[in-house]
């Protein structure tokens, strides 16, 4: 499933803020529930309906998205509770591709090529 890159950025930012409030690793159930809540909120803003069932279907999940996220977070001892890690897990579980917003990366590549050419 393709989703807007702006949605990914917003998810990472909101999750970083949420996860930063914990002194230790949070409960995977609470994190998964918050991810679902954020997904539904941002999907509504983008005009996307039924985002969670669509992601469950796209990822060919046996159970619910919340259960899949909880299981993945709790079964990996090396899992780091950061916005980037949680969103990367979501991408992997649901086979998400992000659409748009790559222009900034292209500009960075152009700048590094220019610097290399000067040498």
- How many structural domains compose the chain? 1
Percent of the chain with pLDDT over 70: 84
CA separation (Å) from 79 to 25, 75, 86, 87, 104? 10, 9, 9, 12, 28
79-112 burial: b if 16+ Cβ within 10 Å, else e: eebebebbbebbeebbebebeeeeeeeeeeeeee
- pTM for this predicted structure: 0.79
**In this predicted model, what pLDDT tens digit does every residue of 30-81 receive, in sequence order?**
999 999 999 999 999 989 889 999 888 888 888 899 999 999 999 988 899 9
Domain of residue 35, residue span: 2-118
CB atoms within 10 A of CB 47: 6
What is the distance between the alpha carbons of residues 81 and 110, in angstroms, rounded to a whole number? Answer: 33
């Amino acid at each position: 499933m393709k989703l807007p890159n702006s949605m990914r950025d917003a998810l990472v930012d909101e999750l970083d803020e949420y996860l930063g409030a914990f002194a230790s690793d949070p409960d995977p159930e609470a994190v998964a529930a918050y991810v679902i809540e954020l997904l539904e909120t941002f999907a509504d803003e983008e005009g996307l309906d039924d985002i969670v069932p669509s992601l469950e279907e796209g990822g060919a999940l046996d159970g619910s998205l919340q259960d899949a996220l909880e299981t993945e977070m709790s079964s990996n001892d090396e899992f780091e509770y950061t916005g980037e890690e949680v969103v990367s897990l979501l991408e992997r579980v649901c086979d998400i591709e992000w659409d748009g917003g790559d222009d900034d990366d292209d500009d960075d590549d152009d700048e590094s090529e220019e610097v290399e050419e000067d040498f």
